């Protein structure tokens, strides 16, 4: 799953203590206990970019807490009184080192104790950090100070619909590579929509992305969704607009036990090969509710859309949770569609073998088990044997097995339906002429994890193109310097594979980034000589 979580800092003043008790009252016999933020159970003060640390206990062991970050907005022409806005919410689970949907538990043990620590470039101002588990809440207030001497600033204006308060918005900058140790940085918009992000001298990860990090006006749409920048000095006029939606898709995301999934990214994308990467996103609130809007220019009569929650988190291999999927047959101006998404847990598998003209494929092929209006899972077959095992849920009976790859050779792909617990499933791919080609086109743009990883000296990178688009695939070192351009040309819809030769580079971590229209994604790889 591509999931982004935001963390922040704060400090206490008596007024904040009052707000914390009024808005988030403490309860006795708390299942959240021993909460401390930067060593304090009552208040803390940090500077933007400092390391923020929190720890707490949950009961029983292995329990999950809902974490909420609230920011205090001062009175302005639209709001006559100070008020808190919910900036971010996510779930943190005891012992979860992956941090699916939120930050990980860094002690890595299911022991009832949760710990997290990271540098974070929070917007200056007052905050309240709230933790809830089992209906019981605890909170700590704090204050974030400005950097004393910012090395770089990023500024601009966010234009909002009439009657909306731009001071409710925060704007975030983060490295495109996304996996290094420098923090993201956040700026707060004022009553006129003007914002400034202050950051230190560490620009590793160039190019960086700038985006509006919260949208309290959903299903209104932030445009552009994000902007790529090269940080070199101070940057201005990085502007955004929030516009009313012509149609909207609302809904809830829950787990298979009916519990709301908090802070979950949800994507809505159009199912066509027009060459446009039409995709919108939303994020669930503390009740699991999301609101996603679409602009009128993107609405095509009779064209279907897909709503999806991506949970795969390990090189295109489904882990413990399936992707949730729902189909939206069409969207027209004025439509308001509600969909309920369920994230199922893996408790079974579908096993078998992939063959090409009766032989082992000789290269890894990604397989997807799909139930069109419920869920999806994925895995890779073994190159040498073709054997595969797709994790699935036995709460869903029918899965269609789809192959996801493309080379210069043309293939016929069988239509195979399988069920949880099936073994000996044969995916018999055959070569064919161009006129007889029957392939499944990717429904979205995506970037696969390189294989093998770590590698020496070469590795394979796959990417999928949902519509005809100019594709740029580049490799960067940990300082954000470009070391290779692997692709820079227009591609037809399909899944492609490219080789990266690192024989002239030194051992270490590298990042590769694909850009196709508005779609951008980065992953890391390790060259080990």
pLDDT in tens, 3-55: 333 333 333 333 344 344 344 444 344 488 999 999 999 999 999 999 999 99
Within 10 angstroms of residue 381's Cβ, the number of other Cβ atoms is 24
User: What is the arithmetic mean of pLDDT over 203-214?
Assistant: 88
Does 2 score more than 50 pLDDT? no
Does 214 score more than 50 pLDDT? yes
Report the C-alpha gap between 390 and 323 in whole angstroms.
Answer: 13
- What's this model's pTM, rounded to 2 decimal places? 0.72
Q: Which two tokens stand for residue 48?
A: 């933007």
User: What is the arithmetic mean of pLDDT over 68-88?
Assistant: 79
Report the C-alpha gap between 253 and 283 in whole angstroms.
Answer: 10
Does 344 score more than 60 pLDDT? yes
* pLDDT computed for residue 178 by the predictor: 54
* pLDDT computed for residue 183 by the predictor: 76
* pLDDT computed for residue 17 by the predictor: 40
Q: For residue 154, what are the β-bridge partners? A: 197, 235
pLDDT in tens, 457-481: 888 888 888 777 788 999 988 777 8
Q: Between 340 and 163, name the one with better pLDDT.
A: 340
Report the C-alpha gap between 158 and 302 in whole angstroms.
Answer: 34
Lowest mean pLDDT among 123-127, 302-306, 332-336: 302-306
Q: Where are the beta strands (DSSP E) in 432-468?
A: 446-447, 458-465
Among 295, 288, 290, 252, residue whose Cα is nearest residue 270:
295
* pLDDT computed for residue 67 by the predictor: 92
Residue-range domains of the chain with CATH:
14-145 (2.60.40.10), 152-243 (2.60.40.10), 247-343 (2.60.40.10), 348-436 (2.60.40.1120), 446-527 (2.60.40.2550)
Q: Between 115 and 9, name the one with better pLDDT.
A: 115
| Contacts with 87 (C-beta within 8 Å, 6 or more apart), sequence order | 6, 8, 69, 70, 71, 170, 213, 214
Q: For residue 369, what are the β-bridge partners? A: 377, 401
């Amino acid at each position: 799953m591509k999931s982004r979580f935001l963390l922040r800092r704060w400090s206490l003043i008596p007024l904040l203590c009052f707000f914390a008790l009024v808005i988030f009252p403490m309860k006795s016999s708390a299942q959240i206990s021993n909460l401390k933020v930067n060593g304090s159970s009552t208040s803390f003060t940090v500077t933007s970019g400092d390391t923020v640390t929190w720890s707490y206990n949950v009961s029983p062991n292995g329990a999950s807490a809902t974490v909420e970050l609230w920011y205090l907005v001062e009175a302005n022409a639209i709001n006559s009184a100070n008020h808190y806005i919910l900036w971010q919410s996510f779930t943190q689970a005891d012992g979860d080192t992956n941090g699916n949907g939120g930050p990980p538990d860094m002690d890595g043990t299911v022991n009832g104790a949760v710990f997290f620590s990271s540098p974070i470039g929070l917007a200056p101002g007052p905050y309240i950090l709230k933790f809830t588990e089992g209906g019981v809440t605890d909170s700590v207030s704090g204050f974030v100070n400005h950097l004393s001497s910012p090395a770089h600033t990023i500024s601009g204006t966010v234009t909002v619909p009439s009657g909306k308060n731009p001071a409710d918005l925060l704007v975030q900058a983060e490295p495109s590579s996304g996996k290094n140790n420098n923090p993201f940085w956040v700026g707060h918009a004022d009553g006129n929509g003007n914002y400034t992000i202050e950051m230190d001298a560490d620009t590793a990860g160039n190019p960086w992305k700038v985006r509006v990090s919260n949208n309290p006006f959903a299903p209104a749409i932030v445009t552009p969704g994000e902007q790529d920048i090269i940080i070199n000095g101070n940057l201005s006029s990085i502007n955004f607009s929030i516009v009313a939606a012509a149609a909207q898709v609302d809904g809830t995301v829950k787990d298979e036990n009916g519990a709301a999934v908090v802070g979950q990214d949800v994507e809505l994308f159009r199912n066509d090969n027009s060459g446009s990467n039409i995709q919108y996103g939303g994020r669930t609130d503390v009740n699991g509710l999301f609101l996603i809007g679409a602009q009128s220019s993107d609405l095509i009569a009779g064209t279907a859309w897909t709503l999806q929650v991506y949970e795969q988190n390990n090189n295109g291999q489904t882990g413990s949770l399936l992707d949730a999927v729902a189909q939206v047959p069409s969207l027209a101006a004025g439509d308001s569609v509600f969909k309920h998404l369920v994230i199922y847990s893996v408790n079974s598998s579908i096993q078998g073998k992939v063959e090409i003209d009766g032989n082992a494929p000789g290269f890894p092929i990604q397989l997807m088990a799909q139930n069109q209006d419920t869920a999806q899972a994925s895995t890779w077959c073994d190159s040498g044997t073709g054997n595969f095992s797709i994790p699935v849920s036995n709460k869903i009976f029918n899965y269609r097995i789809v192959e996801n790859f493309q080379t210069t050779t043309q293939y016929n792909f069988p239509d195979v339906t399988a069920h949880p617990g099936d073994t000996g499933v044969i995916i018999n791919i055959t070569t064919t002429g161009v006129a007889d080609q029957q392939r499944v086109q990717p429904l979205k743009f995506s970037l696969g994890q390189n294989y093998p990883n770590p590698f020496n000296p070469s590795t394979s990178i796959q990417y999928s193109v949902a519509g005809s688009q100019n594709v740029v695939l580049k490799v960067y070192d940990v300082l954000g310097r470009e070391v290779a351009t692997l692709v820079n040309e227009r591609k037809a819809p399909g899944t492609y594979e490219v080789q990266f030769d690192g024989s002239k580079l030194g051992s270490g971590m590298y990042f590769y980034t694909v850009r196709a229209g508005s779609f951008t994604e980065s992953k890391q790889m390790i060259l080990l000589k």
